[in-house]
């Protein structure tokens, strides 16, 4: 790690900078590189501090902190989830994040993470499906066509090779928005009239709905053998998308069981229901999909290591660019013990 500059200026990536950076790299290459970064960090999973995210729940949403460290860098994300925000013209999920040098405790990056969370969620989904989905899967059903849907579809195209998506949302305008945004993606896009219709011919199904309730987006009779389910909408206590009978028929893969049993689809099952940690599949310690007919389920709630990977990638990508500004975020007295003296010298004459 490099020592902080004399003024301890911290690189800050705004929303505008993030969009410019991703366009500079290219959306699909960015997602491929991000998935590779996440996969590499999952392979060294045991190096990370791990804890369920710190959550503050209310009747209408949740605010969370997601911290982790690999012993050299420390990262955290602040993120909210408020499904009713959309009715007021606000985002359901917003976020920002910070990366710091463990040696000094000084921040080395502050960045928006509303856009970056959508990108890392899509990259993680597709990275998991690369290990779990049926071989040569080409069609994905996308149930829930809100803010993350297009990112998911494009990530699965770039990383898993799908070439067709079937869209459904209870709000037809959301599906039309998604289809319009995917026009130039190279994907064959079909807007469907029901979730059941969307699943016709699909080898992969992604569920990404926002309501904070025990919901049944997929019923047991809708899910045939051999499908891979990427369930990303259930991410807090009391919020699910799948009928529990689907879970009982599936081989279930999770990021961090201690968190997923609280927040994921498996909160509906007994606390000792068997699950496989995804990092073990990526590290070849445990098998992923074991047969063509097996139903695999990635019960994804999002974990801090994925955010850490995204933060680290952004930090690396900034070198030689102007996609950031420097913030005077930290006090930097000439004499470290003379903070008050610095304050007094700044007094207007």
- Residues marked active site are found at 235
Q: 252: Cβ–Cβ under 8 A, 6 or more apart, which residues?
A: 265, 266, 273, 274, 275, 276, 297, 299
Q: Which residues pair with 95 in a beta bridge?
A: 79
Task: Look up tokens 């029901």; give the residue.
Answer: 194
State the DSSP H helix or E strand holding residue 129, giving kind and residue range, or none if neither: helix 114-132
Measured CA to CA, the distance from residue 259 to residue 237 in angstroms comes to: 10
Q: How many CA atoms does the CB half-sphere of 198 hold within 13 Å?
A: 25
Measured CA to CA, the distance from residue 346 to residue 342 in angstroms comes to: 6
Residues 174, 200: contact at Cβ < 8 Å? no
Cα dihedral 161→264→238→242 (10° resolution):
50
Q: 130: Cβ–Cβ under 8 A, 6 or more apart, which residues?
A: 35, 159, 160
Q: Which two tokens stand for residue 344?
A: 């007094």
């Amino acid at each position: 790690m490099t020592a902080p500059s004399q003024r301890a200026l911290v690189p800050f990536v705004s929303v505008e900078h993030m969009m410019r950076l991703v366009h500079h790299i290219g959306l699909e290459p960015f997602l491929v590189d991000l998935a590779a970064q996440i996969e590499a960090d999952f392979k060294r999973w045991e190096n990370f501090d791990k804890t369920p995210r710190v959550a503050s729940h209310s009747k209408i949403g949740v605010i969370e902190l997601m911290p982790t460290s690999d012993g050299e860098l420390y990262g955290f994300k602040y993120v909210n989830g408020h499904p009713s925000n959309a009715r007021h013209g606000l985002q359901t999920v917003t976020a920002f994040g910070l990366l710091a040098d463990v040696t000094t405790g000084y921040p080395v990056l502050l960045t928006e993470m509303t856009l970056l969370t959508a990108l890392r969620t899509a990259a993680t989904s597709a990275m998991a499906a690369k290990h779990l989905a049926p071989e040569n899967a080409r069609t994905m059903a996308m149930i829930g066509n809100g803010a993350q849907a297009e990112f998911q579809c494009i990530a699965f195209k770039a990383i898993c090779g799908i070439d067709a998506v079937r869209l459904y949302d209870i709000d037809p305008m959301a599906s039309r928005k998604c289809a319009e945004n995917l026009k130039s993606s190279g994907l064959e896009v079909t807007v469907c009239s029901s979730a059941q219709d969307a699943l016709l011919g699909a080898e992969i199904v992604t569920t990404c709905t926002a309501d904070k309730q025990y919901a049944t987006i997929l019923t047991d009779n809708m899910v045939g053998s051999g499908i891979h389910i990427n369930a990303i909408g259930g991410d807090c206590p009391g919020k699910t998308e799948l009928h529990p009978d689907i879970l009982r028929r599936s081989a279930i893969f999770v990021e961090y069981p201690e968190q997923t049993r609280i927040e994921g689809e498996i909160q509906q099952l007994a606390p000792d229901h068997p699950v496989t940690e995804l990092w073990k599949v990526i590290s070849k310690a445990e098998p992923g999909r074991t047969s063509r007919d097996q139903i695999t389920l990635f019960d994804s709630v999002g974990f801090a290591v994925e955010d850490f990977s995204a933060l680290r990638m952004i930090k690396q990508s900034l070198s030689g660019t102007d996609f950031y500004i420097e913030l005077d975020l930290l006090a930097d007295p000439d004499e470290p013990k003379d903070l008050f003296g610095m304050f007094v010298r700044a007094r207007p004459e």
